[in-house]
């Protein structure tokens, strides 16, 4: 791998080849210049001193491996490798074999002398350039590792993609992700970097679900080429190499557009998990962390997570659902306060959902956050669980709650009443099987502590008059759902009518209109103040009940469902919504007034375009780039996470806002 002779022009054809060893020139082997003190910056064997030639030849014959050798001697040898690769290799009959030999030698030198940044840069660039002439397959190996930031596609990636296109083979998931990650017009956000393993797993599954074995791209017309700036002065600058057999698919934009939607979707789904890891770097296997993992990501859980799943399954047993104390759940959840925050309640529901289990109340479905003194119902989910309520779920929930209020008026909720309520609340509405199971669980929860009229008074009194009338009609329909109404239920209805500001006398009149046989009604007194027409039929046991016509009742159920849908908000979760943006007077992490104002404007939204951010910074009298740095430095000081992520759009990390305001 040396050029030896008395005459040979350089690559530019104007001077002697710098790497040529001329055996006629004098060599001083007695006092070699080991330190290269007599060497120029761009050396040529013909021009260096005899002492330098002595040191250079000694390095060559010594195996070209002395790590302490003067780097100029390494470059002088490297010039010859450059020339062979760039000017002669493309024309050799055995180009593939010699290319492999040259690549191995350059790689060996790089391993020894990589501490010199100049040599490292030239050697790596020459390896990349030599790769364009190497016909060896690339796509049968792992794709180049995805960096946090890249300005161009590495040559190995370009060659592998080109070979896949020529062979009409699908692009494997790891090669597709490497293509996207190296592309200069893309950027992998924090979740993709911080949660690299989870990101790759989820991306791979979704990529295969969308593209099967992978995208197949057609070769484009542009040919694969590369430009190399030579270290040797014999080239006079840039050298261009081209492989006419391979297309430059890296110039295609269509595949990147398809991948961008996929990457952004995976990134967004991992954001919650990523932010948790940002606050708890060692908590990747905790129940709270695993609860935040999206479907499709596998993770070895901690013993605490396994214990919680096992306890929940045992609590459900064979019955399909089980009522337990919320305190039993809270003691199994990693909480410092002994209470569940709303975010914890969401995480609990998500963790149980991963094993086909559910919890009521569930804050995602309008439920309240469980407290240590409350009860919860654990239940088995349907084969196709849903994580958010459908359009008619709230109406069914309203009917269940109102129905339990009326049905429990006599101290018990009978099985016929439960069946009737289920038919009215569930069977008449368009609900998924999972929602039906959840409503059954909610009904079981309500039975543990039936609602009282007092519990609804505040909600009912706040309704407009038109809706109060609708509530009244719905209450009567629910009370009559099982075909019988007890005296206690009628009294409850009358108290609720009074609370609503409605005439309680309408209760019996409406119920009486639905009676099966009005001629056979027996005069039976109802305890309380006498009112005209308040009579109910006596059954065989002497208990005061009113028997109603099932056919008439069924005709009102569809209308009742519509009314319930309108009134569903009275059973909405009492917990406040996430707090609005902090007031602009609150100081954030000791920032000055201008940066504090900008901080409070930014946290009003999830993301801002770069142009919008620049305008906000300008309005605050700040330079945009400097403001970003100040805000993120303040966030790192307090939370070890940045406030602003991405370049365009700029995403706001809302998980750390409260911490910055403390």
pTM for the full predicted model: 0.61
Pairing of the two strands 223-229 and 238-247: antiparallel
pLDDT band for position 18 (cuts 50, 70, 90): very high
Distance CA(151)–CA(167), nearest Å, equals 27
pLDDT band for position 54 (cuts 50, 70, 90): very high
User: What pLDDT was estimated at residue 5?
Assistant: 96
Q: 544 or 660: which carries more pLDDT confidence?
A: 660
Residue-wise pLDDT tens digits, 411-430? 666 676 666 666 666 666 77
Q: Taking a C-beta distance cutoff of 8 angstroms, is the pair 501, 523 a contact?
A: no
- The string of DSSP letters for 400-446 reads HHHHHHHHGGGS---HHHHHHHHIIIIITS---HHHHHHHHHHHHHH
Q: Is the model's pLDDT at 19 over the cut of 90?
A: yes
User: What pLDDT was estimated at residue 338?
Assistant: 78
pLDDT band for position 7 (cuts 50, 70, 90): very high
User: What pLDDT was estimated at residue 172?
Assistant: 95
Among 42-51, 212-221, 497-506, name the one with the lowest average pLDDT.
Answer: 497-506
pLDDT band for position 22 (cuts 50, 70, 90): very high
Q: Is the model's pLDDT at 253 over the cut of 70?
A: yes
Distance CA(552)–CA(476), nearest Å, equals 13
Q: Is the model's pLDDT at 219 over the cut of 60?
A: yes
Tell whether domain 593-661 is in CATH 1.20.5.
no
User: What pLDDT was estimated at residue 632?
Assistant: 83
Alpha helices in 86-239 (DSSP H): 95-113, 117-131, 155-167, 173-182, 190-194, 196-211
Q: Taking a C-beta distance cutoff of 8 angstroms, is the pair 524, 535 a contact?
A: yes
pLDDT band for position 582 (cuts 50, 70, 90): very low
Buried b (16+ CB within 10 A) or exposed e, 104-113: ebbeebbeeb
Distance CA(293)–CA(269), nearest Å, equals 8
The DSSP symbol for 541 reads: T
Q: Where are the domains of the chain?
A: 1-136+227-234, 155-226+235-269, 295-380, 393-571, 593-661
Distance CA(52)–CA(38), nearest Å, equals 7
Question: How far does Cα 642 stand from its chain's mean position?
Answer: 17
**How many percent of the chain have pLDDT more than 70?**
80
> Per DSSP, which regions of 221-292 are E strands?
223-229, 238-247
Question: How far does Cα 656 stand from its chain's mean position?
Answer: 17
At residue 604, φ and ψ (nearest 5 deg) are: -75, -20
Residue-wise pLDDT tens digits, 178-199? 999 999 888 888 899 899 999 9
User: What pLDDT was estimated at residue 535?
Assistant: 41
Among 2-6, 433-437, 476-480, 505-509, name the one with the lowest average pLDDT.
Answer: 476-480
Q: List CB contacts of 9: < 8 A, sequence separation 6 or more.
A: 15, 16, 17
């Amino acid at each position: 791998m040396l050029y030896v002779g008395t005459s040979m022009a350089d690559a530019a054809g104007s001077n002697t080849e710098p790497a040529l060893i001329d055996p006629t020139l004098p060599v001083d082997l007695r006092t070699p210049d080991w330190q290269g003190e007599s060497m120029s910056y761009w050396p040529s064997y013909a021009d260096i001193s005899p002492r330098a030639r002595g040191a250079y030849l000694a390095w060559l014959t010594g195996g070209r491996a002395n790590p302490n050798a003067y780097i100029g001697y390494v470059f002088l040898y490297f010039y010859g490798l450059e020339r062979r690769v760039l000017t002669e290799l493309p024309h050799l009959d055995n180009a593939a074999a010699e290319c492999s030999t040259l690549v191995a030698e350059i790689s060996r030198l790089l391993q020894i002398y990589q501490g010199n940044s100049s040599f490292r840069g030239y050697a790596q660039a020459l390896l990349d350039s030599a790769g364009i002439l190497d016909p060896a397959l690339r796509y049968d190996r792992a794709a180049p590792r995805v960096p946090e930031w890249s300005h161009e596609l590495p040559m190995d990636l370009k060659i592998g993609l080109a070979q896949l296109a020529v062979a009409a083979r699908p692009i494997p998931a790891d090669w597709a992700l490497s293509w996207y990650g190296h592309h200069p017009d893309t950027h992998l956000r924090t979740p993709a970097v911080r949660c690299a393993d989870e990101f790759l797993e989820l991306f791979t599954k979704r990529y295969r679900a969308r593209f099967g074995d992978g995208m197949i791209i057609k070769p484009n017309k542009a040919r694969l080429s590369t430009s190399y700036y030579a270290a040797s002065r014999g080239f006079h600058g840039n050298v261009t190499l081209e492989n006419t057999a391979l297309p430059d698919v890296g110039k295609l934009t269509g595949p990147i557009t398809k991948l961008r939607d996929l990457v952004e979707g995976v990134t967004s789904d991992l954001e919650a998990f990523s932010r948790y890891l940002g606050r708890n770097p060692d908590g990747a296997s905790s129940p709270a962390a695993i609860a935040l993992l999206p479907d499709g990501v596998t993770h070895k859980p901690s013993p605490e997570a396994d214990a919680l799943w096992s306890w929940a399954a045992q609590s459900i047993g064979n019955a399909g659902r089980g009522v337990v104390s919320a305190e039993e759940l809270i003691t199994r959840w990693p909480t410092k306060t002994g209470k569940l925050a709303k975010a914890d309640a969401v995480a609990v529901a998500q963790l149980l959902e991963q094993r086909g289990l559910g919890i009521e109340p569930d804050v995602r479905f309008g439920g309240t956050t469980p407290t240590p003194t409350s009860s919860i119902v654990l239940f088995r989910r349907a084969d196709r669980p849903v994580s958010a309520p459908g359009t008619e779920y709230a109406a069914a929930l309203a009917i269940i709650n109102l129905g339990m209020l009326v049905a429990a008026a006599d101290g018990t909720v009978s099985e016929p009443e439960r069946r009737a309520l289920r038919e009215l609340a569930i069977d008449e509405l368009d609900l998924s099987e999972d929602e039906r199971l959840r409503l059954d669980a909610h009904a079981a929860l309500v039975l543990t502590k039936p609602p009282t009229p007092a519990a609804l008074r505040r909600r009912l009194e706040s309704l407009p008059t038109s809706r109060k009338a609708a509530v009244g009609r719905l209450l009567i329909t629910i009370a009559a759902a099982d075909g019988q109404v007890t005296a206690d239920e009628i009294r409850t209805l009358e108290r609720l009518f009074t609370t609503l500001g409605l005439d309680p006398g309408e209760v019996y009149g409406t119920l009486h209109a639905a009676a099966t046989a009005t001629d056979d009604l027996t005069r039976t007194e109802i305890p309380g103040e006498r009112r005209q027409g308040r009579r109910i039929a006596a059954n065989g046991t002497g208990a005061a009940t009113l028997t109603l016509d099932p056919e008439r009742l069924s005709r009102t159920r569809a209308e009742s469902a519509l009314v319930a849908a309108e009134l569903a908000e009275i059973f909405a979760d009492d917990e406040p919504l996430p707090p609005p943006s902090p007031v602009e007077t609150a100081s954030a992490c000791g920032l000055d007034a201008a940066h504090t104002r900008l901080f409070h404007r930014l946290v009003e939204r999830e993301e801002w375009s770069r142009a919008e951010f620049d305008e906000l910074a300008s309005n605050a009298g700040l330079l945009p780039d400097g403001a970003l740095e100040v805000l993120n430095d303040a966030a790192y000081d307090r939370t070890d996470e940045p406030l602003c992520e991405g370049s365009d759009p700029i995403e706001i990390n809302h998980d750390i806002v409260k911490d910055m305001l403390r």
